[in-house]
């Protein structure tokens, strides 16, 4: 039997040093966590995209710590040995370092996460330092920040001007200095991500940030085609589960109404 070595924060730094791509994906429950881990994904993120992909909210802002923890616990039950990151919801780490620490601690102690993620660069430095000092590994997140949509006026690609690039470089360096073990780069032009990836020694994990990042993360529902209308430009659909599931359900309705199911075979 092949035993897989458990990932730790230093595994990811080594992967960057060795030029080995890091594969990450969002998961929201036990079955998706189990499948992703079995497929060889390196890092499972219980993203706050849980809000819109699974819980039916319009965006990530309404998600609560309780809701997020509920799904982190399920992911942990599905993949007991995986490296799981819990994504801290809007307003769970902005009020004070003490409140951030209290909430982040719950991801580790109650949900069994290996790390937490939070959005923001220089703005988030004090919180990142506080969590890291307490022994909680932190994944940073810069570029397009879904928790900032109200202030930004929507989902905006970052780093499109020389000033924007300077801000991103400052954010990336600040997160590294604060002790983050890796960072998500979201919605950033490919050449800018390349610059950011070379500027820091910790791994960059891109989503809509081109091919030069040290790794990639995708939203599970996007890559499985589990959406009906909007397909984000950065997403590649590896399956079309919307079609598969609706075909299956349509057949199920038809077969029950026609008496084709259940048969002897399904009866006791």
The answer to whether the Cα torsion of 208, 132, 88, 107 is positive or negative is: positive
Closest CA to 114 of 134, 138, 84: 84
Of the candidates 116, 112, 25, 36, the one whose C-alpha atom is nearest the C-alpha of residue 70 is: 112
Closest by CA position to 221, among listed 8, 45, 17 = 45
* Binding piece for ligand KIV, criterion CB under 6 A, among 47-55, 96-104, 232-240, 260-268: 47-55
Among 32, 49, 68, 193, binds ligand KIV (CB under 6 A): 49
Closer of 156 and 260 to ligand KIV (Cβ) = 156
Taking the C-alpha atoms of residue 150 and residue 162, their distance in angstroms, rounded to an integer, is: 24
Task: Choose between 210 and 258: whose C-beta lies nearer to ligand KIV.
Answer: 210
Number of residues forming the site for ligand KIV (CB under 6 A) = 10
Name residues contacting ligand KIV, limited to 67-96 (CB under 6 A): 87
Q: Which residue is nearest to ligand KIV (CB)?
A: 47
Residue closer to ligand KIV (CB basis): 49 or 204: 49
Residue 138 lies near ligand KIV (rule: CB under 6 A): no
Among 111, 168, 202, 219, binds ligand KIV (CB under 6 A): 219
Rounded to whole angstroms, the Cα distance separating 126 from 128 reads 6
| Strand intervals (E) in the chain | 22-26, 43-46, 84-87, 115-117, 138-143, 182-186, 204-207, 215-218
Q: Which is nearer to ligand KIV, 61 or 249 (CB)?
A: 61
> Rounded CA gap, 187 and 178, in Å?
23
Q: How far is the CB of 110 from ligand KIV (least distance, A)?
A: 19
Distance (Å, rounded) from C-alpha 158 to C-alpha 180? 20
| Stretch near ligand KIV under the rule CB under 6 A, chosen from 41-49, 62-70, 164-172, 260-268 | 41-49
Closer residue to ligand KIV, CB minimum distance, 238 or 252: 238
Size (the chain), residues: 268
Residues 155-194, one symbol each (x = binds ligand KIV by CB under 6 A, - = not), give -----------------------------x-x--------
User: Which residues of this protein are in contact with ligand KIV, per CB under 6 A?
Assistant: 26, 47-49, 87, 184, 186, 207, 217, 219
């Amino acid at each position: 039997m092949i035993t897989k070595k458990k990932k730790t924060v230093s595994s990811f730094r080594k992967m960057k040093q060795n030029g080995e791509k890091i594969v990450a994906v969002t998961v929201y429950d036990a079955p998706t966590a189990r499948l992703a881990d079995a497929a060889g994904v390196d890092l499972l993120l219980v993203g706050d995209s849980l809000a819109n992909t699974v819980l039916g909210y319009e965006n990530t802002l309404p998600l609560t710590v309780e809701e997020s923890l509920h799904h982190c616990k399920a992911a942990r039950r599905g993949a007991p040995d995986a490296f799981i990151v819990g994504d801290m919801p809007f307003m769970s780490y902005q009020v004070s370092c003490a409140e951030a620490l209290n909430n982040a601690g719950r991801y580790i102690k109650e949900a069994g996460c290996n790390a937490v993620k939070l959005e923001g660069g220089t703005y988030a430095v004090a919180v990142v330092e506080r969590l890291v000092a307490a022994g909680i590994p932190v994944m940073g997140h810069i570029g397009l920040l879904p928790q900032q949509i109200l202030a930004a006026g929507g989902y905006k690609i970052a780093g499109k001007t020389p000033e924007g690039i300077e801000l991103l470089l400052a954010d990336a360096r600040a997160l590294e200095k604060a002790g983050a073990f890796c960072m998500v780069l979201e919605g950033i032009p490919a050449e800018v991500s390349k610059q950011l990836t070379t500027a820091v020694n910790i791994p960059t994990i891109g989503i809509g940030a081109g091919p030069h990042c040290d790794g990639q993360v995708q939203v599970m529902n996007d890559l499985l085609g589990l959406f009906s209308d909007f397909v984000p430009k950065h997403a590649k659909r590896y399956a079309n589960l919307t079609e598969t599931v609706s075909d299956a359900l349509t057949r199920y309705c038809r077969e029950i109404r026609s008496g084709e199911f259940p048969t002897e075979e399904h009866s006791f």
